[in-house]
Chains A and B, each alone.
Chain A
Amino acid sequence: EVQLVQSGAEVKKPGESLKISCKGSGYSFTGYWIGWVRQLPGKGLEWMGIIYAGDSETRYSPSFQGQVTISADKSISTAYLQWSNLKASDTAMYYCASAPDVSGIPYYFDYWGPGTLVTVSS
């Protein structure tokens, strides 16, 4: 059974750093991409970026380039999303999702994690 297990909810202050995780199991982690998707309260899905677990090739949405860092440790089948300077506007649910690799392209997300709620408040 494919599972993506995300780290627990976080409450942080503006200016703090944060790293959340997404651990995959039940499939070949290194043969898939892991994407990160933001959902602001009451809003739609926003793609943030994606990493190929096999070689850590990473692509970012222009909206999030420079704002977050996506990484992966294939030895423990885990992908990460991190911030160095959180803002109140980063308050949202963050989902990781796996995407099969098709000739180097992650066309769609076949499995999703349950989400990590990040709250940034002074």
Chain B
Amino acid sequence: SYVLTQPPSVSVPPGKTASITCGGNNIGSKSVHWYQQKPGQAPVLVIYYDTDRPSGIPERFSGSNSGNTATLTISRVEAGDEADYYCQVWDSSSDPHVVFGGGTKLTVL
């Protein structure tokens, strides 16, 4: 089955740029979606279809996807961005299903 690989943790000082990667075999041929989950809360969609932002999500959040890596980029990181981030795809294999990455803990130093 399809596997998405994320780094367990990423740390960045406030005001800097955080990049969270999501690796998968030819992931550039799939649509990647990203969720933010703060402690004790439900996940929130922050990027869909690789680059689109839902209403209410700051422009500081952006996404890209090419080759074997998709990336969530958070510019001008704020303390409130500290959370777990998950990538997700729909795998249209012989047994279509949802796949989540293992998640990345973003720490704002």
Contacts and interface: CB of A to CB of B under 8 A. Distances in A.
B43 A95 contact: yes
A113 interface: yes
A62 B42 contact: no
Nearest to B84: A44
Contacts of B95: 62
A54 interface: no
Interface stretch (A71-79, A83-91, A103-111): A103-111
Contacts of A24: none
Interface string A108-121: 11111111000000
Contacts of A112: 42-45
A51 interface: no
B92 interface: yes
A2 to B, nearest CB: 11
Interface stretch (B16-24, B67-75, B96-104): B96-104
B45 A109 contact: yes
B98 to A, nearest CB: 4
B53 interface: no
How many A residues are at the interface, by size bracket?
20 to 34
Contact of B42 (A95, A107, A108): A95
A107 B33 contact: yes
Given A62-B1, A62-B95, A108-B88, A46 B100 contact: yes
Contacts of A111: 45
A59 interface: yes
B35 to A, nearest CB: 7
B10 to A, nearest CB: 15
B54 interface: yes
Interface of B: 1, 31, 33, 35, 37, 42-45, 48-49, 54, 84, 86, 88, 90, 92, 95-103
14 contacts: A37-B100, A44-B84, A44-B103, A45-B35, A45-B100, A95-B43, A105-B92, A105-B96, A107-B31, A107-B49, A108-B49, A109-B35, A110-B48, A113-B42
